[in-house]
Amino acid sequence: MINKAGREIPQFIDDYKDVSPYAGAFESLGERIKTTAKIKSFVPGSKKLLATIDEAIEKTGLKDGMTVSFHHHLRNGDQVVNLVMAAIAAKGIKDIHIAVSGIFAVHEPLVKMMEDGVVTKVTTSTFNPGPVAKAITAGKLKKPAVLMSHGGRPRAIECGELHIDVAFIGAPSCDEYGNMNGTHGKSACGFLSYAYADAMYANNVVAVTDTLVPYPCCPIEISQEKVDFVVQVESIGDPKGIVSGTLTITDDPIRLKIADDTIKLADAAGYIKNGMSFQTGASSTALAVAAGVREIMKERKIVGSFGLGGIHSYFVKMLEEGLFKNLFDTQCFDIEAIRSAAKNEKHMGISGSQYANPHNRGSVVNNLDLVILGATEIDTDFNVNVITGTNGVIMGASGGHSDCAAGSKMAIIVTNLTRKNFCIVRDKVTTITTPGETIDAVVTEYGIAINPRRKDLLEAVKNSDLPIIDIHDLKTLGESLVGEQTNCQVTDKIVAVVEYRDGTVIDTVKMPL
């Protein structure tokens, strides 16, 4: 069947839930039922502290075919996935579904586990390009990977589509009874937002910590009544991989021009104003946009409402300068963000569900004015790909991309029109992450294309000197520079299912030929 994004979707996908095709960004809403959760009562005097991960595997009854979950706030420094999965593999347990909110290069040991049948399914919301993503693309996983957005993951957990048998939560600070936070301790990584749903709904919850603090841990992010067991290990992560020092703004003149035009566009559209809310990723171009918006806000004495998302030092600076009243944080991107999260009550950690779940009573993305997003490809219907390269190899996942695009009043894609010999604007993107109906504009070094659905925006900029261009012309221009583009050839084998944030299937990733 053809879904609303124009993609051919099978009616049935092996080893995947019932397929519900993408039907439009706001079509699959209405009333929803949150699922049940199974809890074992703990009587006074019972202990939660276990000596080893092995013991946690035994006590939780972890066995073949189960789903185990992890969060990714330790990023490329994470040791929890590797520690736990090595222990699971050593016990001869097979057919594990790993539901981890993000996968990094450090998780390379999963590749062999995929080959050995220890890991047969992966559900994730973030990748960085690397061995696991490559192995999934190459068909090494028995069952298709499921790629969700940051809002889609807690939605799936809360409605029971993603049932977790054992959640292992890396806890930078934890007490013996399971109260924990992510903002303190030698392996502090910032708020544990993406683990909150796991702690609420998993049948078993195990905290894995390298910093056991006296009871009670303070502040408490995930509280004791949700935690079955606590395991102390030597290290949950390598601080060097957990965070970059401080992220940096691009010094490339082309990207600076893109950033500058983006700011002018947002300003012309009226989104740089008192009470504004704003999210950017941590790319060097996005940070240049943040830096430029900051200058305007200071100059015009604008006070914004909130900065949102993965939080970086530029947003921290804007908070501390009073340019934002608050930050809403779901993960810390750098050391400054972690420092601020630990000490500034205006810098608030929120759950993935509060951030972006479309099936609750209104997540924060619904209150977002302006978001700056990236793309590996964008098509003439404004559909965006951040999942695969043009060669079909998985190199990312939605993260908050499709969530923020849907929720925000203005979603701008910033990208060079061409990279190497690729034109980013295409007839059809290789994989759809974010539907075009939720994207408002794309800013390139060769011009700004505005989604024709946004007549108000076209009207707002018509007397400006912004280089507005039709997206088809932008594609033609790009192809005149690097040649006509074709999509990669693929086999019939589905290696990943791309879920839209509401759990419908917006696309699939097939193994390249």
Q: By CB under 8 A, name the binding residues for a second copy.
A: 26, 29-46, 48, 177-178, 205, 214-216, 218-220, 223-228, 275, 305-306, 325-326, 328, 345-346, 348, 350-351, 353-354, 357-367, 406-409
Task: Give the three-class secondary structure for 152.
Answer: helix
Quote the least distance from Cβ 229 to a second copy, whole Å: 9
Contact 397, 147 (CB under 8 A): yes
- In whole angstroms, the minimum distance from the beta carbon of 338 to a second copy comes to 17
**What does DSSP say about strands 324-332 and 377-379: parallel, antiparallel, or unpaired?**
unpaired
Environment class of 366 (CB within 10 Å of its CB; exposed 0-12, middle 13-18, buried 19+):
middle
Q: Are 82 and 103 in contact (CB under 8 A)?
A: no
Would you say 104 or 168 has its CB closer to a second copy?
168
Token pair of 74 as six digits: 């330790």
Least gap, CB of 369 to a second copy (angstroms): 11
Q: Smallest gap, in angstroms, from Cβ of residue 41 to a second copy?
A: 4
| Token pair for 260 | 């500058």
Nearest to a second copy of 104, 229 (CB atom): 229
AA letter at 372: I
- Using DSSP bridges, classify how beta strands 441-444 and 447-450 pair: parallel, antiparallel or unpaired: antiparallel
Cβ proximity to a second copy: between 30 and 92 the closer is 30
Tokens of 114: 């995929």
Smallest distance from a second copy to CB 248, Å:
29
Distance (Å, whole) CA 254 – CA 447: 12
Buried b (16+ CB within 10 A) or exposed e, 431-446: bbbbbbbbbbbbbbbb
Closer residue to a second copy, CB minimum distance, 183 or 390 = 183
Dist. CA 125–CA 101, nearest whole Å: 5
Integer Cα distance of 287 and 65 in angstroms = 43
Q: Which is nearer to a second copy, 199 or 282 (CB)?
A: 199
On whether the CB atoms of residues 80 and 145 are closer than 8 A, the answer is no
Q: Which helix (H) or strand (E) holds 349?
A: strand 347-349
Instruction: Between 197 and 384, name the residue whose CB sits nearer to a second copy.
Output: 197
CB of 220 to a second copy, least distance (A): 6
User: Considering the complex, what minimum distance in angstroms separates the CB of residue 207 from a second copy?
Assistant: 11
Cβ-based nearer residue to a second copy, 133 or 169: 169
Residue closer to a second copy (CB basis): 31 or 465:
31
Q: Closest separation between CB of residue 247 and a second copy, Å?
A: 25
By DSSP bridging, strand 229-232 and strand 347-349 are unpaired
Smallest Cα–Cα separation from 2: which of 428, 448, 312?
Answer: 428
Nearer to a second copy, 207 or 268 (CB): 207
- Shortest CB 39 distance to a second copy, Å: 5
- 216: preceding bond cis by omega (within 30 degrees): yes
Length of the chain: 513
Q: Cβ closer to a second copy: 1 or 29?
A: 29
The DSSP element (H or E) to which 93 belongs, if any, is none
Q: Which is nearer to a second copy, 359 or 426 (CB)?
A: 359
State the nearest-atom distance from the C-beta of 367 to a second copy, in Å. Answer: 6
Give the three-class secondary structure for 342: helix
Query: Torsion angle, CA of 437/442/446/447, rounded to 10 degrees?
Result: 80
The two three-digit tokens of residue 401, written as one number: 């991309």
**Please, what is the minimum distance in Å from the beta carbon of residue 262 to a second copy?**
21
